[in-house]
Amino acid sequence: MERAEMVREYLRVLGLDAHECDFALLNELVARHVATFAFSSVGSLLGEDLPLDFESLYQRIVVDRRGGYCFQHNGLMYGVLEELGFSPTLYLARVIYNQDVHPGLTHRISMVEHAGQKYVLDVGFGPLGPRIVVPMPATEAKDGEKIFRIAQRRPGEYHVEVFKDEVFFSLYRFELARYGQSDCELGHFYSHRHPEATFVNHLVVSLLLERETRSLRDLEYSVITQSGTCTRAVRDSGQLRQLLVGEFGCQVTEDESRCLFDMLAT
C-alpha cells in the first residue's frame, strides 16, 4: 500500500476530510487521534519489535490497534502531515515534569508553520498531553478546562507547559536544533529496550476524549473528568483485557493479558 493510500485510510478512520489543509484540520487531527488510538506501552512490556518506518507505524496503530508512545504516534503523525503538505519539522525533547533536570532526549514532537504562525503538534505524550495544537511561543491555548502554552524559560530553551494547581507546570523542554530519524532510533531504542526505561517496567495506557481522560498505570485504572478522578484497581488478567480492549481499543489476546498481569502483579 502506498503512503497516500494509508493516509487516506487514516483520515477515514478518524472521520476527517482533508480537502482543506487549514488550522481547523490540524486541531481535528490532534483531537481525533488521541481519542481514537491509544497511547500504550504494551509492545515495550511484551518485548516486541517496534520498527519506526511509516508503514509499520500505520499497521501497528491504525490497523492492528496496538497503540504506541511518542516515537510511534508522532512518527505516524509526521508522515501524515508531510503527505497533506504541511511540511512538519521534527524535534526531540526532554521530559522533566517541572524539575530542573537534564534527562535524555526520549520524547518526539512535530512543529508546523501555518499562516505565519508556528505550532507544536504532540499526539504521543499520554494522559497529560494536549488535545490541541499549541502555538509557539507564549500564547495560551485552551483545551477544555486545560490551558497549555510554550514558554521560553532560557534563551533557546522552550517548555511545553500546562496550567496545573494555579501555576504553569513544565511537561517537557526542547531546543530548535536539527534532528533526524537516526536520533529518533536512539531515543526509541532506549525507551523500549533499556532495563530502566519507564515503558519497559510499567504499563502506561491512555485515551484523551473530549470530556474525559482514561488512564491505566500498571494495575490502577482512572477516569479523569472535570468533576474529579475515579480510580479502581485491576484484580485479574480478564479485567485487564476488558479494560485494554473495551475502554482503550487496544487489542491484546488473552495470553498477552495474562502475561502482562503476571509481570505487573509480581
pLDDT tens string 61-119: 999 999 999 999 999 999 999 999 999 999 999 999 999 999 999 999 999 999 999 99
Is residue 51 pLDDT above 90, yes or no? Answer: yes
Q: With a cut of 80, say whether residue 177 has pLDDT above it.
A: yes
Residue 95 domain-assigned?
no
Q: 10 Å Cβ neighbour count for 161?
A: 22
Q: Which of 36-40, 187-191, 223-227 has the lowest average pLDDT?
A: 223-227
Q: Is residue 244 part of a domain?
A: yes
The number of beta carbons lying within 10 Å of the beta carbon of residue 46 is 13
- Indicate if the pLDDT at residue 17 is higher than 90: no
Q: In this structure, is residue 185 part of a structural domain?
A: no
pLDDT at 117: 94
Query: To the nearest whole number, what is the mean pLDDT of the chain?
Result: 96
pLDDT reported for residue 21:
85
* Residue 70 is a catalytic residue: yes
Domain span at residue 245 reads 203-265
Considering the candidates 33, 122, 143, 184, report the single residue annotated as catalytic. 122
Mean pLDDT confidence for 146-174: 93
Q: Which of 238, 196, 240 is nearest to 218 (CA)?
A: 240
* Structural domain total, the chain: 1
CATH of the domain at 255: 3.30.1120.150
Task: State the catalytic residue, choosing from 22, 33, 73, 107.
Answer: 107
Q: What pLDDT digit, counting tens, does each position of 192-244 carry?
A: 999 999 999 999 999 999 999 999 999 999 999 988 999 999 999 999 999 99
Catalytic residue among 17, 19, 53, 70: 70
Reported as type and span, the H/E element at residue 27 is helix 23-36
**For residue 1, what pLDDT is reported?**
84
Query: Bridge-partner residues for 243, per DSSP?
Result: none
- Give the DSSP H/E element, type plus range, for residue 14: helix 3-14
Flag whether 258 is in a domain: yes
| pLDDT (mean) for 133-157 | 91
* Residue 211, in any domain of the structure: yes
Residue 253 · residue 246 · CB < 8 Å = no
Whether residue 71 lies inside any domain: the answer is: no
Q: State residue 12 phi and psi, 5-degree precision.
A: -65, -45
Query: What's the pLDDT band for 144 if we cut at 50, 70, 90?
Result: confident
Q: Does 48 score more than 90 pLDDT?
A: yes
Inside any domain, residue 63: no
* Domain presence at residue 116: no
Closest CA to 192 of 99, 66, 81: 66
